[in-house]
Amino acid sequence: MSAEPLVSIVLPTYNGARYLDQSVASCVAQTYRNWELIIVDDCSTDATPQIIAKWVAADPRVRSVRHETNQRLPGGLNTGHRLARGDYLTWTSDDNLYRPDAIGEMVRFLESNPDVGLVYADYTNIDDDGNVMYPHVVAEPQRLAYESCVGACFLYRRAVWQKVGEFAGDMFLAEDFEYWVRVSQSFKLQPLHKDLYLYRLHAGSLTAQRHERVVLAIGRVVERHLPRMDWVPRSYRARGYLVLAGIAERQGKRALALKHIAQSIRYSPLELFVRLGRWAKRTAKGRRRSRLPAA
C-alpha cells in the first residue's frame, strides 16, 4: 500500500464528449500516482458514457456513476464527493486539463503547511484547440469578498468537506465561489504561485453561454455571505458592497444600489473614492485614444 495520501478527483460531466477524453488523460498522466478519479455523468445524451466506460476499463483508479436525471453541477459535485475516499479532495471540469505535476505539487504544499485547509494554484488560459492564450495568477483570498479568486486548480483536506458540507444547489453558476466563501470562514486558504492547470475558454462553456446569469449568481453569493465575512479587511468588504451596487444598477434597482454604496462607505469611505478615481482615469484615457487620428 502506498504511503502517500490518497487524492480524490471528482469530474462532473454533462455532454462533455468533445474534451472529456483529454481531461481524463490529464488526470491519468499525473506524476503523483495515489489518486482516484470519480467521473459523475449527469445524464449525458452524447458519447460521454462510451468515453467513460473506456477509461474505467483501462485504469482501476477510475470509477464512475451516472445520474438518471440531470442534477446540474452542484448535484454532480455532491454525488462525487460522497463517493470520495481520499485524504485530499479536488474537482476538475471536462474541458480543462491538469499539468502533470499539479496534484503532486499541491499535496506537497498541504503536507508541508498543516495550518492551510485549501491551496489554489495559478493556471494558463487556452482556446478551443488547446492553444495557449495567457497566464492567470491567482489573487489573495481576501478577494472572496467580491470575486471567486480561487480559480480552477485547487486541493483541500477531507476535513474541509466534512465541516463545510455540500455544494449549494441554489447557487448554480456560482457554486464554487459560494463554497470557497464558506470554506474561508473556517479554514485558511493559500495561493500557490505555480502554473499547474490549463483552463479552456470557449463558446460552449457555462460561463460564456450564461454570462449575465453568472454575474447575478455572484451577486447572490456576495449578498448572502459578505455581512458575516469578519476575517476580511474592511476595504475589501467595502469593495464587495460596490460590486453589489453595480449589479443592482445594471438591473435598474437604483434604490438598492444606493443602499449598497452607503454600506460600502460605512466600511471604508476611501474605497469609493479610489474606485471613482480609477474609473475617471480609464474614461479619460479612452477619450484620448478616441481622438487619435487613424493610422
What's the pLDDT at 273?
A: 75
Write the DSSP symbol of residue 204: T
Of 138, 166, 178, which Cα lies nearest the Cα of 154? 138
Residue 226 and residue 237 in contact, taking contact as beta carbons nearer than 8 Å: yes
Write the DSSP symbol of residue 141: G
CATH (residue range 7-202): 3.90.550.10
What's the pLDDT at 235?
A: 94
What's the pLDDT at 292?
A: 44
- pLDDT (tens place) for every residue of the chain, 295 residues total: 458 999 999 999 999 999 999 999 999 999 999 999 999 999 999 999 999 999 999 999 999 999 999 999 999 999 999 999 999 999 999 999 999 999 999 999 999 999 999 999 999 999 999 999 999 999 999 999 999 999 999 999 999 999 999 999 999 999 999 999 999 999 999 999 999 999 999 876 655 557 889 999 999 999 999 999 999 999 999 999 999 999 999 999 999 999 999 999 999 988 887 766 666 566 556 555 544 444 3
Element (H, E) at 8: strand 7-13
Residue 104 and residue 115 in contact, taking contact as beta carbons nearer than 8 Å: no
What's the pLDDT at 271?
A: 84
Q: Distance between CA atoms of 95 and 77, rounded to whole angstroms?
A: 16
For residue 52, the Cα-to-chain-centroid distance in whole angstroms is 24
- 109-144 residues labelled b (16+ CB within 10 A) or e (exposed): bbeeeeebbbbbbbbbebeeeeeeeeebebeebbbb
Q: Distance between CA atoms of 216 and 222, rounded to whole angstroms?
A: 10
Predicted structure pTM score: 0.90
Q: Where are the domains of the chain?
A: 7-202, 233-287
What's the pLDDT at 293?
A: 45
